Amino acid sequence: MTIELTVTGMSCGGCAASLQKALLAQPAVTAAQVDFTSSKAIIESELSKAELIALIETKGFSAS
């Protein structure tokens, strides 16, 4: 399932890259693209939207 989230709290492209790396490290995530300029994350995963938001929040960002 593909889920698109708006991510806030990223201050640079490095933030987006580290979040993308963290998402891809999860076994249930098959693909992730995090874009700093649009504040969007497009994630292909078996996880629910709520589970992905919780995961993003553990990395210090907010998502909706």
Q: CA 61 → CA 10, 23, 36, 40, distances in Å?
A: 7, 12, 12, 12
- Look at residue 20 in the predicted model and tell me its pLDDT: 98
- Look at residue 15 in the predicted model and tell me its pLDDT: 96
- Look at residue 36 in the predicted model and tell me its pLDDT: 97
Place of tokens 């990395």: 59
pLDDT digit string (tens) for 5-33?
999 999 999 999 999 999 999 999 999 99
- Look at residue 46 in the predicted model and tell me its pLDDT: 95
- Mean pLDDT, residues 37-63 taken together: 97
